[in-house]
Amino acid sequence: MILDKISVDELDFSKGYRNGIKKIKILSNFDKFMIIMWLLGPFIYLIERSPADAWLSALAIIFIIRSFHNKEWSWAKQTWFKFALALWITGLISALLSPDPYFTFSQGFVWIRFPLYAVAAQTWLAKDRDIRILMLISMCLGMIIMCLILTAELIFAPLDPGGMIKTRLTWPYGDLVPGGYLAKVSLPLFCIFIAIAVNKASKISGYLGLIALIPLGYLFLTGERTNTILRVCSGIMSAVVWKPKLIALITLMIIKILTVIFIFLFKPDIGVRFTEKFYESLPMVSVNSGHWGTWRSGIQQGLETPIIGIGPSGTRKTCFELPKNTPQWLPGRNLCANHPHNFYVQLFAETGLLGLIFGICMIFSIIKDCFKARKIDPNCPMLCSAFVVPFAIFFPIQQFGSFFGQWGNLFIWFAIGFALSQNQNWDKKKVHI
């Protein structure tokens, strides 16, 4: 069994799997059901966004009910959650004062389910390391299934409805689901595998490196530029944070570069999309790029109501009503979309300076807590690479996602919840399952 070979210092997959199964068996029926439900997450995400949202929302709601029943609220004392709560309240106040209070309030009200899911994973569902190893195995199986789905698309459905060769793999979802899934749902697993791959000069380390690079190749084929860069940067960070060996690191980088070259030769349109078109789209390169246009409109909307903003997801409602005479110091032109394509611009536009400050503090606190996990066990790659996940996801210069949206947040907070679970110093009592 391959799990028997994946053993690195304090991370033993085979032992973790066996112990995890044993621990689940002795749990109460309620906890057993909830842990199994949580472990099925990567497979539920493979279905579509509505089942994934229902799954995440159910876990968050049940967690709150459980907290009421057990009168256990110590998790709410965490700094990152306090800032998340402050951001949520700010968003609700902003919504009540917005031009469309019903829409923005409904969007803002349900956002709290994402931090609640993360804290549920952190303090309850993923409290035990062996259970977390089971989730890593679940992530791996989900990642394999997604890669098989995309392989089937390459073989059996290579043409779009117009009869042209597809430039992006999206089947059977028809949107950006595959890229988001490969980039974020299995991101913790990817970081761990890369860390192991550059630490050990062994056959199994090489296999793990290849396993990590295969979904990266498929991510390229989805055409998801920002998600791909997120994945690559995460891999680089993971490679250097946990005792890397120079030869293994160089070998992995060479293989990664050769993989990219092969994909560009195999799919020239992908190469163009990731080079010329991507460069032209960068907000800091051209004031005429589409991404700068969305950023610019978001900034201008924020300037209209700088303190409290226009309400969660309000940019899509008010963008077209922006004054024609825009500030001279903001070059370029506005472009209206469902959101500004940047978390920080969106926070400023929709929750004002107050929400932006609370959001930045929340993100910083999450990264800080995940970084603390290294001190718990410096010999464990799972703990050492934990902070890579939130750092990569919340990197400021990104061009994706709606902070208050559904689908992107489903991916993001799944990974964040797992990353946060690595630091078990949140509660001095350390109550285990």
Distances in whole angstroms, Cα of residue 178 to Cα of each of 142, 226, 283 = 11, 13, 25
Is the full-model pTM beyond 0.95? Answer: no
The answer to whether the CB of 17 falls within 8 A of the CB of 133 is yes
Where the chain has pLDDT below 50, the residues are 1, 4, 428-433
pLDDT of residue 398: 64
d(CA 22, CA 32): 11
* Cβ contacts of 285-289, under 8 Å, gap ≥ 24: 287/331, 287/332, 287/333, 288/332, 288/333
HSE at residue 23, side-chain half, CA atoms within 13 A, is 20
The answer to whether the CB of 139 falls within 8 A of the CB of 185 is yes
Q: What proportions of the chain, in percent to the nearest 5, are helix, strand and coil?
A: 70, 0, 30
pLDDT of residue 414: 94
Which among 13, 16, 141, 45 is positioned nearest to 415, based on CA atoms?
45
Distances in whole angstroms, Cα of residue 241 to Cα of each of 50, 69, 151, 216 = 36, 41, 32, 20
Place of tokens 């410096």: 378
Residue 160 phi, psi dihedral angles, 5° rounding? -80, 175
Q: What tokens were used for 161? A: 């409805």
pLDDT of residue 203: 65
Torsion angle in degrees (nearest 10) through CA of 15, 17, 22, 23: 100
pLDDT of residue 288: 67
pLDDT in tens, 93-111: 999 999 899 999 999 999 9
φ/ψ region of 313 (left if φ > 0, alpha if ψ in -120 to 50, else beta) reads left
